[in-house]
Amino acid sequence: MDEARGKLAALGIEMDATMKRFCGDTDLLVEMLREFAAEDLLERLPAAIAESDGAAIERAAHAVKGTSANLGLHGAECALRQGGPGGACGRARRHRGVGRGGAGVLPGRSRGHRRSLI
Amino acid sequence: MLIVDDSKVDRTLLANLFAGSYKVLQASGGRESLDVLARGKVDIVVLDIGMEGMDGFAVLEAMKADPDLADIPVIVETCETAHEETALTCGADDFIAKPFNPVVARKRVDNIVVKHVLERERLQAALRETELLAARRAQELLHVAEHDRLTGLYNRTAFCRKTAELLAAHPDEEFAVIQFDIERFKIINELYGSAKGDEVLLAIARTLGEWLHVAGVYGRMEGDRFALCLPHDVALEGDYVRALEEAVAATEVDRQVVLYFGVYEIEDRTMPVDIMCDRANLALHSVKGDYNTHFALYDSDMHQTFLANHELVGEGERALREGRFEPFVQPVFDLATGALVSGEALVRWRDPQKGLVPPGQFLPFFENSGFIIRLDGHIREAVCQLLVQMSEQRSSCPPVSVNVSRLEFYDPRFCQNLIDLVSRYNVPPSLLRLEITESAYADNLPQLLEAVAQLQSHGFTVLMDDFGAGYSSLSMLRDVPVDMIKLDMRFLGDGGAGAQEREKGILKAIVPMAKSLGLPIIAEGVETADQAAFLKSIGCDYVQGFLYARPMPRDEYVALVAAAAAATPGERG
């Protein structure tokens, strides 16, 4: 378990606050990180940007921001917060990379696609 | 708790957070959340604002618009501080910010739930209390609607309903409906005050409760009339009758209070109860005023009689319109000199088919129906015309008396109507004598005394009719300011020699006493020479009866008066 926590911390996850949020359940956190990586949430932002749909961009950015913050992915959240909907484009792209990279480094999963930006 | 969030991560996180203290339902979107709420209510909704499709604001709006959902507290989750204010304005109760602080999130949800649960319990308690109050009030209203205010007994409507229920519940048992009332109850109120009257009614109600509360249904129909529905044997056994009489006697009203009972033995249970009551009432009226019997069973003849009477009154109305009632006059003579001194007008009904209808066949029914007032009015008018006719033919004419029904004294315009009548015909009031039956004095003392005094002050002469017939006490002569007394000799003679002697003895006492009060006495119904001799021996002044002259049509009377005047010029009574 400590090993897993270490790996999660290495990903830049704020472990103290996040583990409180998950009631100390590391497995759940890992599961939710996988879920986050698999959700189409991360697809929505680039799609909205491609269509120049301001409202959709904003909604997707908020969604990513909220969920990533809950997961303790502080960097991604900060990036979105600073960028806001108008400037989310490049950061969102990077964020997408975070998600996939994150999934790759999760304990018990393939590490072959690690492209972490954090 | 319902968690609404399109992010499975956030949803799962919250579900995990609250799993220990709430039963958690989840919805992954706005529409799904409304479906879940439609299936069953929850204590709180935790709602993500920024959802794809139907967002949190739309869900909030839909919930507030639905009366079933509007009171469910909603806590919104958002990562945008700008959304917090808008959500609160839209009706959210509180918010929790992303990333969730588990302590803050739990506390806010708990606070809202506790507040709402308490509020709901308070409302439910208030509602329960309101419902209880409403139920109690409804019960009170029902009680007022069904019970007589004075005695607390069932009123007429409730009595009929409860009796119908009693009969339906005991289809194999025989029952009877009884009506009873108090003889001359009005006098008790008049003489002793209505408080005493109420005391008598309450004593009856109490006794009914003590004797009959398990036996049947009882109620107060109106005034002094009560109704009972009892098993047949109980109804005829009559123990309750004695109990009621004792209860009434115990109220210390200083005169005998007589109860009259009419009983209808129920044969046809499909008959409406109010008709059963009417039949019992017919039986009651058949013994009203009877001194020996206070209890009567209904039989079908009573119904026939009732219908016949009803028809008779209808015929009377028609006859009055067609002018078929006319006064006959029976002369009154001075016993000492034989001179014609006055007359009494007596109504006759001249029917085109039946000829002259005997007064005994219609007067009693008209007396009971109130039609008598209009009939008396018609006769008085005709007598005034007769007096005018006689006055025109002669320098003076003897007075004629007319009967005044006791019912007239209930009419406040009665005296004025009489005064107007004589002035319209320009007849001196002293010529139109007024005969008021003795029983009327017992009935309605204060109004009657007032009316008599007023009439006397306008010059009318008032006679007490049928003196000694029933109710009178000698003290009435002292209390009632009459001008003359009429004794009816027909009240003598039915009781055998012994009784006749006793009654003659009473007359012997009455006549000198009346004379000592300055009251002239007319004896009517004088039919034999023996009676005439007896009346002469005790000093009676005037006589009227078949022995001297029968009632006669007005023209005959006018002629007789003219002849008498020619024979004894200047004689007047």
Q: Where are the domains of chain A?
A: 1-81
B102 and B237 co-located in one domain: no
Cβ-Cβ contacts under 8 Å, B78 against chain A: 66
Cβ-Cβ contacts under 8 Å, A17 against chain B: 99
Tell me, yes or no, whether B320 lies in a domain.
Answer: no
* Number of domain units in chain B: 3
Task: Using 50 as the pLDDT threshold, list the residues of chain B that sit under it.
Answer: 571-573
Cβ of residue A34 closer than 8 Å to a chain B Cβ: no
Report the C-alpha gap between B153 and B512 in whole angstroms.
Answer: 52
Distance from CA of B37 to the nearest CA of A (A): 24
Report the C-alpha gap between B372 and B182 in whole angstroms.
Answer: 24
Cβ <8 Å between A25 and B16: yes
Backbone angles phi, psi at B92, to 5 degrees: -70, 150
Q: What are the E-state strand segments in B42-173?
A: 45-48, 74-78, 94-97
ipTM of the complex: 0.70
Report the C-alpha gap between A83 and A97 in whole angstroms.
Answer: 17
**CATH code at B195?**
3.30.70.270
Distance from CA of A73 to the nearest CA of B (A): 10
Cβ of residue B106 closer than 8 Å to a chain A Cβ: no
Cβ <8 Å between A66 and B10: yes
B276 and B391 co-located in one domain: no
Tell me, yes or no, whether B59 lies in a domain.
Answer: yes
Query: What pLDDT does B553 receive?
Result: 94
Query: What pLDDT does A1 receive?
Result: 59
Q: Which of B105, B97, B107, B8 is nearest to B49 (CA)?
A: B97
Query: What pLDDT does A93 receive?
Result: 37
Cβ-Cβ contacts under 8 Å, A55 against chain B: none
* B550, B551, B555, B561 alpha-carbon torsion, rounded to 10°: 70
Give the nearest partner residue to A62 out of B79, B100, B101, using CB atoms: B79
B94 and B174 co-located in one domain: no
B118 and B151 co-located in one domain: no
Cβ <8 Å between A63 and B17: no
Tell me, yes or no, whether B308 lies in a domain.
Answer: no
Cβ of residue B107 closer than 8 Å to a chain A Cβ: no
Give the nearest partner residue to B10 out of A28, A67, A77, using CB atoms: A67
β B259-265/B295-297 pair status: parallel
More confident residue, B385 or A39: B385
Which of the four pLDDT bands, split at 50, 70 and 90, describes residue A62?
Answer: confident
Report the C-alpha gap between B517 and B523 in whole angstroms.
Answer: 17
Cβ <8 Å between A69 and B79: yes
B152 and B253 co-located in one domain: yes
B169 and B103 co-located in one domain: no
B517 and B549 co-located in one domain: yes
Identify the bridge partners of residue B356 per DSSP, sorted by sequence position: B350
Report the C-alpha gap between B421 and B385 in whole angstroms.
Answer: 11
Report the C-alpha gap between B546 and B364 in whole angstroms.
Answer: 22
**If you average pLDDT over every residue of chain A, what do you get?**
68
B24 and B166 co-located in one domain: no
Cβ-Cβ contacts under 8 Å, A67 against chain B: 7, 9-10, 98
**If you average pLDDT over every residue of chain B, what do you get?**
87
B430 and B557 co-located in one domain: yes
Tell me, yes or no, whether B315 lies in a domain.
Answer: no
Query: What pLDDT does B513 receive?
Result: 82
Give the nearest partner residue to A59 out of B10, B17, B52, using CB atoms: B52
Query: What pLDDT does B494 receive?
Result: 52
Query: What pLDDT does B475 receive?
Result: 66
Domain containing residue B249: 147-298
Which of the four pLDDT bands, split at 50, 70 and 90, describes residue A101?
Answer: very low
Report the C-alpha gap between B432 and B519 in whole angstroms.
Answer: 18
Report the C-alpha gap between B6 and B125 in whole angstroms.
Answer: 38
B402 and B515 co-located in one domain: yes
B374 and B481 co-located in one domain: yes
Cβ <8 Å between B50 and A62: yes
Which of the four pLDDT bands, split at 50, 70 and 90, describes residue A82?
Answer: low
Cβ-Cβ contacts under 8 Å, A66 against chain B: 7, 10, 48, 50, 77-79, 98-99
Distance from CA of B6 to the nearest CA of A (A): 9
